[in-house]
Amino acid sequence: MKILALVPGGIGDQLLFFPTLETLTHQYPHAAIDVIVEPRAKTAYRVCKYVREVLTFDYKDSNSMADYLNLLGVIRDREYDIALTLGRRWTVGLLLWLNGIPVRVGYNNSWLISNPVALKTEQYAAWMYHDLLRGLGIQSPCPPMKINVPKEDINWAETEQQRLEIQGQGYILIHGGSSQLAQSKGIDKIYPVPKWQRIVDEIVRKQPDLPIVLLQGPEDGEWVSKMMNVCTSLKVIMPPDIGKLAATIAGANLMLCTDSAPMHLAVAVGTYTIALFGPTEAKKLLPPNSDRAFGVQSPTGIIADIQPENILEQMWRG
């Protein structure tokens, strides 16, 4: 059996889809599972053991007819038995129908989707994605998000801890960046540096021997520079890929972050996490009733309006 999943979105969306892939693997242990994701999200599958092949297609691009015909050919050549799509565009349903895939599962209830599923957007996103399996008659609960970190990435993280002189003593990890895509859409997920400074100063006052490490991604250079200017005792780590990023997060005592892919990785590896939410909703992006991951929601929808005291209160409570 061959199964295809079409999963638009970034790395965070892929991580939230991992529990669905896990259940699929358990239900169809001999099936080959492929995914089609946006190019920016392909790296997520470095830490996923459930997928045979990762194909790419820019769902959000202004695709020409030639682009869709090329994708049509790629799918047709592989002769899938089942397709699941998270997208709700009618063009995706048409694409799967034209390919002759007999079982087509999706949220769209048009005739192009053979097995439609109710879309429940108010729940945790991983549960919402997992609901697609009801279209295959699978009623099992959604498992926790898990990832598979390569040994070489764990070794890299341990070497970096030695370099930073934090191995064996634990550390607090802070990630305060936001993707350029989110910023281009006007979604502000960057917490102000002066407020981060107040949090860092309080941590240093209460736990002066506990290292604080900034997590720098490809788009976080400006934020990290500003943080280092006001908090000179901070250390910086720059994992080059998602596996090494996950290993770095797994070694931390605490992850302080905004809504981001590193937040989902922290949930997956079980690091105690406090995440800040402005325009996005914590209840949709963090597992309900978790004793390891907590969201601090802005009362106004503007992340800058979260008071440092609220974050510190959650920290010391944990």
Domain range annotation of the chain: 2-136, 151-317
Question: Based on C-alpha coordinates, what's the Rg of the chain?
Answer: 21
> Per CATH, the architecture of 151-317 is what?
3-Layer(aba) Sandwich (3.40)
| Better-scored residue on pLDDT, 287 or 97 | 287
pLDDT, average across residues 268-290? 96
In this prediction, residue 88 carries a pLDDT of 78
Mean pLDDT value across the chain: 92
73-120 pLDDT per residue, tens: 889 989 999 999 998 777 778 888 888 899 999 997 778 999 999 999
CATH superfamily, with its number, for domain 2-136:
Glycogen Phosphorylase B; (3.40.50.2000)
Half-sphere exposure at residue 144, Cβ-oriented, CA atoms within 13 angstroms:
14
Q: Which two three-digit tokens encode residue 154?
A: 């764990």
Q: Do the domains spanning 2-136 and 151-317 agree at the CATH topology level?
A: yes
| pLDDT confidence bin for 61, thresholds 50/70/90 | low
The pLDDT of residue 60? 75
* 197 within 8 A of 231, measured Cβ to Cβ: yes
Beta-carbon contacts of 291 under 8 Å, excluding residues fewer than 6 positions away, are none
Cβ atoms 308, 202 nearer than 8 A: yes
- Core vs surface per residue 152-161: b (16+ CB within 10 A) or e: ebbebbeebb
pLDDT tens-digit profile of 155-190? 999 999 999 999 877 899 999 876 555 555 556 788
Query: Is the entire prediction scored with pTM above 0.85?
Result: yes
Maximum alpha-carbon separation in the chain: 64
When pLDDT is averaged across residues 126-155 and rounded to a whole number, the result is 97
Helix axes 90-98, 65-78, angle to 10 degrees: 50
Q: Is the pLDDT of residue 66 over 90?
A: no
